[in-house]
Chain A
Amino acid sequence: MRVTMGILVAMLFAVAPAWAHHSFAAEFDATKCSDITGILTKVAYENPHSYVWVDVKDASGKAVSNTFQLSSPSNLKRGGATYGVLNGSVGKEVLVRGCASRNGEANRYAASFIKLPDGAIQRVGQDVEGIFGTKIWR
């Protein structure tokens, strides 16, 4: 049986697209992403998306709260970002890779990874920038 590589590849991924609950691109801007470091203050491990809040000191030294939307608990726990892992980091310094909200709301982002206090880089969202090897931006 001779089957071309192209056909095989098509067969391999005859799967529904790995879309999330909603379109990332509709709500966040994958061209406005940055690393944000601060103290993790709170975790909401809920559906359809989980959230974490990180206090970042501004130029005057005042703590400003930043909101990060993560994936769903279904995806997070299967990827290692369990309830215990995230809550265990509250009160500690983390670095979050976040892409800004498109609706103009300040200090609101979608996160793709969190560098946890132990140094582990933990996926928490889609690869909208292509930094993990697969650009998925829908």
Chain B
Amino acid sequence: MKAHIGMTVAALCALSIAIGAQEQEKKFVEARGSVKPVPLPPGGPAPRMSDGHSDLSGVWFSGPTGKANAWSVVPDAPLKEDPVPFRPEAAAKISSMSRTERELKSPGVTCQPVGTPGMWTINPYPHQIVMKPGLYVHLIESDNAWSVVHTDGRPHKKPEDLEPLYNGDQTAHWEGDTLVIDTISIDERTWINQSGWFHSDQAHVIERLRRPSKNYLEYQYTVEDPKVLTKPWTSAWRTYSLGSEDLTENFCTNNENVDQLEKLNEAESRK
């Protein structure tokens, strides 16, 4: 893994130079706030907790820079993932929505709780993980959401005690240095991601987190949902890097987008 990150850093430097040359030719607008990504080095081995397990604690930004990358001048390459194996009726339901209708139903747009795995997949802002032996605490800026999960491998609640929750009923265990978070009973109002991927009451989400080195965190998720998918689907690993900033307050209190999109939807419906 170290070798991978080292070569990744070298490749990013080469890419940055190439992009720098391209920028000079095209005379792009130089603006304060644009980010030219400089990846963090691996930073040494991941710290461990007193029980010997990997300590995932830290403030984590999407991408390799340890900083916000919303205004990066390097485009994201698409993730290499298999197509989501939707059942035909699920695919038809998603594709029947116009772009505007999809926006209006998206928890990310309407500022509804994003839940599991939305805290990772419908969240453009940094994460803070706080751990101690037996406990995982996940905090995000988006609407100041949080989840707390026991990592001792305890079973889920009994079926008669389950209730639909945005974060679902969560338990976690370690597989080597990978923390595996297992979630069921997820409120059907959440989406799996921003694409319109709705889920059923049978959704089962398995998330995996690992810290290959001090400065890097990796996240992957699997969704099983026999009412929506023909078979389970597993994402690519996503890269996060260690920041040195605190999270900032982010309450969604002035959402004008819904009204604006409803006006647009009305105009489009009249056409």
Chain A residues with a Cβ under 8 A of chain B: 1, 3, 5, 8-23, 25-27, 44, 46-49, 51, 69, 71-75, 77-81, 101-105, 108, 113, 120-124, 126-127, 131-136
Contact of A14 among B28, B236, B253, B263 (CB under 8 A): B236
Among B15, B39, B67, B245, max chain A CB count under 10 A is at B15
Q: Tell me if B237 is interfacial: C-beta within 8 Å of chain A.
A: yes
Known A121-B29, A133-B19, A134-B73; 15 more pairs at CB < 8 Å: A1-B3, A5-B11, A12-B11, A18-B70, A20-B124, A22-B257, A26-B100, A74-B68, A79-B33, A103-B260, A123-B31, A123-B71, A127-B71, A132-B28, A136-B75
Closest partner residue, chain B, to A48 (CB atom) = B252
Q: Which of B45-53, B103-111, B149-157, B160-168 contacts A (4 or more CB under 8 A)?
A: B103-111
Q: A1-B3, A11-B4, A15-B238 are in contact. Are A27 and B74 (CB under 8 A)?
A: no
* Complex Cα–Cα for A108 and B257 (A): 12
Tally inter-chain residue pairs, CB-CB below 8 A: 187
5 residue pairs bridging A and B, Cβ less than 8 Å apart: A8-B8, A9-B77, A12-B77, A17-B76, A79-B70
Which chain A positions have C-beta within 8 A of B230?
A: none
Measured between C-beta atoms, what is the minimum distance from B218 to chain A in Å? 8
Check if B158 is an interface residue, CB within 8 A of chain A: no
Interface size on B, residues (CB 8 A): 70
Q: For B264, give its contact among A16, A48, A102 (CB under 8 Å).
A: A102
A75 to B3, CA, bound (A): 32
The reply to whether B238 and A20 contact each other, CB–CB distance below 8 Å, is no
CB-based contact B33/A13 at 8 Å: no
Known interface pairs A22-B103, A133-B22. Does A15 touch B257 (Cβ–Cβ under 8 Å)?
no
Answer whether A10 and B111 are a contact pair too, CB < 8 Å, given A77-B248, A79-B71, A121-B29: no
Decide: A12 near B103, CB < 8 A? Known: A26-B261, A47-B250, A47-B253: no
Known contacts: A74-B125, A104-B263, A121-B32. The answer to whether A9 contacts B250 by CB under 8 A is no
Please give me the residue from chain A that is nearest to B257 by CB atom. Answer: A22
Instruction: Return chain B residues, CB-CB under 8 Å to A75.
Output: 68, 70-71, 124
Contact A23 B99 (CB under 8 A): yes
Write the nearest CB–CB distance from B123 to chain A, whole angstroms: 8
Q: Which of B26, B29, B30, B245 has the most CB of A within 10 A?
A: B29
CB atoms of A18 and B251 under 8 A apart: no
Bound complex: CA of A27 vs CA of B259, how far in Å? 11
Interface residue? B255 (CB, 8 A):
yes
Q: Which of A27, A80, A127, A133 has the most CB of B within 10 A?
A: A133
- CB neighbours (8 Å) of A77 from chain B are 248
Neighbouring B residues of A124 by C-beta, 8 Å = 33
**A80 near B32 (CB under 8 angstroms)?**
yes
In contact, A16 and B62 (Cβ under 8 angstroms): yes
How far, in angstroms, from A5 to B29 measured CA to CA in the complex?
28
List of A residues within 8 angstroms of B252 by Cβ: 21, 47-48
- A25–B100 CA distance with the chains assembled, in angstroms: 10
Contacts of B11 in A (CB 8 A): 5, 8-9, 11-12
A20-B124, A27-B264, A74-B125 given as contacts; is B254 within 8 A of A12 (CB)?
no
Known A-B contacts A74-B125, A103-B267, A133-B73; the reply to A14 vs B79 at CB < 8 A is yes
